[in-house]
Chain A
Amino acid sequence: MLKQKWIYVLLCLGLVSCSEEKPQGTIHANVIQPTGRHCEYTIAPGPITTLHSLTDMKGALGAVVTSSENLGSREEILDKHDGLNSVDVQFARSGNTYTPLDMDSLFALSLYYAVEFGYQLFTGLDSSESMTKVDPLSWSRTLIVHEARRTFGEIGVDPEVTDNAEYLSHRVTDDSGNEMVLNYLFSFPTDEVEDIPLGLNLGIMVHEYSHLVMQHLFWEKGISKDTLVSSEKPTKQTLGALDEGLADYFGYLATKDPGYFLCSFPSENRDLSVKKEFTDELIASLGSDRGYDTHTGGAVFAAINYEIGQAIGRDQNGIYLVQLMSSLLTCSNANLSSDSNTLNMDFGSVAACHAAIAKPEHKSQISSIYRSRLGSYGGI
C-alpha cells in the first residue's frame, strides 16, 4: 500500500512537469516599468498580446535571441540568423502573469515587452494608413538580440560595444534574388551603467523601435524610389539628427518621463524638458562632418518637440510626428527636386513640414515654438 502511494506521488510529479508555456491571447509580463515620475520605477505587470512562445521568446513582432559570437565575425550571422540562439528563460506564472526567475529572463521579457510597447504606441498614434503599410506583424524575422556582441570598427582591434542599444536595418538578398530588410534591435552588455541598463529602460528600447519605424516609413520609401540625399545642404546630418530626435520623443511618450535617458546616463544632455535650441555652433556642425554627433542635434529637436507637446498635447504631437516620418519625402518643403530626385533639407524645412501637417488650430503654436528655437535656420 505504501509502495503504491509513493508511485502515485512520483507519477504526479512527472505529470506536473510536462507542461509547456504557450500563452494564449494576452499575457502580462511582470517587468520593471517607469511610473512616469522622473527615473522612478516599479515592478508591475504589463500586457503582451503578440507573443506565441515564452519558451523561445518568439512572437509576431520577432524573437529575442542571443549570440556567443561577435555579430560581425561571419556574414551568415546577420544574413541568415546563423548562430543566433534563443535565450535560456524561466518564468513563474500566476494566472496570466509571468514573472522572470533570473536576470536573463527579465531582460528577454523586458525586451519583447518594449518592442510590443513601441508597436502598440505607434499603432495608437497612427491616424492614417501609414503604419499598416509597414505593419511589423509581417516582420516575423525581426530579431531582438540580448547581450549582443558587436564591434563598431575592426573586430579584434576595436572594443566590443557595451552600454548601448541599436537598431540595425540589414539588407539581404534571398534565394529568389529578392532584396529585403532584416530588422535587428540590439541590447548590448552592461558594463559601466550604474542605474538602469539600456535593455531594461523602456524609453531607450522604444527609442530604438522608433528607428525601425523611421526606417520603413521614410528611408525605405526613399530607397525604393532611388532618392538621393544631397551633399549640398546638411541633409544627411539633418536626417540623422531628425531620426534621433524623433526616437527621443517617442521614448518620452512611452515612459511619460522626459528625462528617461538620464536614468541610464545621468550626465547626458538628453532631458527633453530642458529647453534647447539650434545654436550657430550646432548648425555649423550639422553642415560639416567634423565633430558632428547626430544625438546632439536630435536632442535639440526632441526638446523643441517636448515644448510643442506641452502646448498642443504630447500624444497629438506624436501623431503629427508619425505623419512627418511618413510624408517627409513628399513634403514640398523638403525640396525634392523632380529632375534630380535629390532630397535637400535642413531643420528649417523639417519644421515647415511639421507645421504643414498640423491641424489649423495647432499650426501657429508649432510655428511659434520652432521660430524661437531654430536659430539661424530662420523662421517658418
Chain B
Amino acid sequence: MKLRCCIGLIIVAMVGNDAMGEFPGPIHDQIPIMPPRMISYTPSTKSRVRRSRQRSSFLAGFEVGTLGQRNSTTADVLGLKLLLGGRLFAVFPVSRDLYLKPTIGFFFKNQDIGKPSVTQFLAEAGLNIQYRLSKSSGFTWLLGVAQKAQADFSRISVGPISGATTTSSASETSPLLFRYRIGPTLGFTYQINRDLGLLADFEVSFTFTQPIHSYVGLVSGLIFKF
C-alpha cells in the first residue's frame, strides 16, 4: 500500500511538473490557440492570421457520456456500473503539441431494488494533459493523462412499503467522499467549421484509495471557439 502511495505521489508530482512546464511569455502569442485540426482550417492570408491572433479567443465545450465504475456484482455492461452525466471543459495549449484541459463534471446513477433506492453522485474537477499524436483525414488524435479530484455522495431512500401502518418514507444523504484518480486518456477532435468541432474522449483511471476503484469514461461533445 505504501509503495502504491509513493508511486502515486511520484506520478502526481511528475504530472504536475509536466503540466507546469516553463513557457516563457504569453501562450497565445507563441502557439496556436486552437486544437491542431481547427488550425488547419484557418485561412492562411496574413490579414486573417493577424486578426486571429488579435482575438483573445479560447476553446471550451461540453461532453456528455458515461463513466463506468468497475463492479463485479451488479454490473450494467462488461463488469462496469455505468454512471451518466457530462463535463464542461476548456482547452489551453501550452506548446505546439501539448494541451491542458481543465474539466468539471457531474455523473450519477440510480439503483432501485424494491422500495429501497440508492442514487450515487459523482462530482469531479480535473486537469487532463493531452499530447497531439497525429492529424489525418480531418481527425486530430490526442493521447494524455486524465486526472480528477472527485467527490462522491449518495442519497438512500426507502418506502413507503405496501401494507405499512404509515405511508412515510425515509431518505438520507451521505457525506462527501473525496478521492483522486488518474489514468491514460485517448481522444480525438474533428472540426465541423471554423468555430465548432466534435470531440470524444476515452479514459481509464484508478483511485488510490483502498479498495482501488477503476473507472472507464467515454464521453463525446462539442468544442467551441470563443
A positions within 8 Å CB-CB of B:
2-3, 6-7, 10-11, 13-21, 30, 32, 37-44, 55-56, 66, 68, 85-94, 99-104, 106, 146-147, 190, 193-197, 200, 259, 262-264, 266
With A14-B12, A20-B209, A40-B168 as known contacts, state yes or no: A90 contacts B152, CB within 8 Å: yes
B positions within 8 Å CB-CB of A:
1, 5, 8-9, 11-13, 15-17, 19-20, 22, 70-74, 81, 109, 111, 113-116, 118, 120, 147, 149, 152-154, 156-159, 161-166, 168, 170-172, 174-181, 207-211, 213
Chain A contacts for B22, CB-based, 8 A: 3
Chain B contacts for A197, CB-based, 8 A: 113-114, 116
- Among A68, A87, A101, the residue within 8 A (CB) of B153 is A101
With A55-B210, A196-B114 as known contacts, state yes or no: A99 contacts B156, CB within 8 Å: yes
B17 touches A7 (CB 8 A): yes
CA distance A197 to B118 in the complex (A): 13
With A10-B12, A13-B180 as known contacts, state yes or no: A38 contacts B159, CB within 8 Å: no
- Among B115, B158, B163, B180, the residue within 8 A (CB) of A17 is B180
B153 touches A102 (CB 8 A): no
A88 touches B177 (CB 8 A): no
With A11-B9, A14-B180, A17-B179 as known contacts, state yes or no: A40 contacts B161, CB within 8 Å: yes
B159 touches A41 (CB 8 A): yes
- Among A11, A30, A39, A193, the residue within 8 A (CB) of B12 is A11
Chain A contacts for B72, CB-based, 8 A: 66, 68, 85, 87-88
CA distance A89 to B70 in the complex (A): 11
Sampled A-B contacts (18; CB under 8 Å): A7-B13, A10-B147, A17-B181, A18-B8, A32-B170, A37-B165, A39-B163, A41-B170, A43-B172, A55-B210, A90-B211, A92-B177, A94-B175, A99-B156, A102-B111, A103-B113, A197-B114, A197-B116
B156 touches A32 (CB 8 A): yes
CA distance A42 to B169 in the complex (A): 7
Chain B contacts for A146, CB-based, 8 A: 73
With A40-B159, A92-B152, A266-B163 as known contacts, state yes or no: A193 contacts B9, CB within 8 Å: no
Chain A contacts for B114, CB-based, 8 A: 190, 193-197, 200, 264
With A40-B161, A93-B177, A194-B114 as known contacts, state yes or no: A14 contacts B208, CB within 8 Å: yes
Q: How close is A33's CB to chain B, nearest CB, in angstroms?
A: 9
B74 touches A103 (CB 8 A): yes
Chain B contacts for A92, CB-based, 8 A: 152-154, 174-177
A-B contact count (CB 8 A): 188
> With contacts A11-B9, A263-B164 known, what are 6 further pairs, Cβ within 8 A?
A10-B16, A17-B180, A32-B116, A99-B175, A195-B114, A266-B162
CA distance A16 to B163 in the complex (A): 46
- Among A11, A15, A20, A44, the residue within 8 A (CB) of B210 is A20
Nearest CB in chain A to that of B153: its residue: A92
Among B15, B158, B179, B207, max chain A CB count under 10 A is at B158
Q: How close is B149's CB to chain A, nearest CB, in angstroms?
A: 5
Among A66, A102, A200, A264, max chain B CB count under 10 A is at A102
Nearest CB in chain B to that of A18: its residue: B5
Nearest CB in chain B to that of A199: its residue: B113
Chain B contacts for A94, CB-based, 8 A: 174-175
Chain A contacts for B115, CB-based, 8 A: 194-196
CA distance A200 to B168 in the complex (A): 18
Nearest CB in chain A to that of B148: its residue: A13
CA distance A264 to B163 in the complex (A): 10
With A6-B20, A15-B9 as known contacts, state yes or no: A90 contacts B208, CB within 8 Å: no
A196 touches B161 (CB 8 A): yes
Closest 6 CB pairs of A and B: A99-B174, A39-B164, A17-B208, A43-B172, A103-B111, A18-B5
- Among A15, A17, A43, the residue within 8 A (CB) of B207 is A17
A40 touches B164 (CB 8 A): yes
CA distance A21 to B213 in the complex (A): 14
A32 touches B209 (CB 8 A): no
Q: How close is B159's CB to chain A, nearest CB, in angstroms?
A: 6
Among A20, A21, A40, A68, max chain B CB count under 10 A is at A40
Among A44, A196, A262, max chain B CB count under 10 A is at A196
A106 touches B209 (CB 8 A): no
Nearest CB in chain A to that of B177: its residue: A92
CA distance A11 to B6 in the complex (A): 11
Chain B contacts for A106, CB-based, 8 A: 116, 118, 156
Chain A contacts for B166, CB-based, 8 A: 37, 40
Nearest CB in chain A to that of B72: its residue: A88
With A88-B72, A200-B116 as known contacts, state yes or no: A194 contacts B177, CB within 8 Å: no
CA distance A86 to B210 in the complex (A): 13
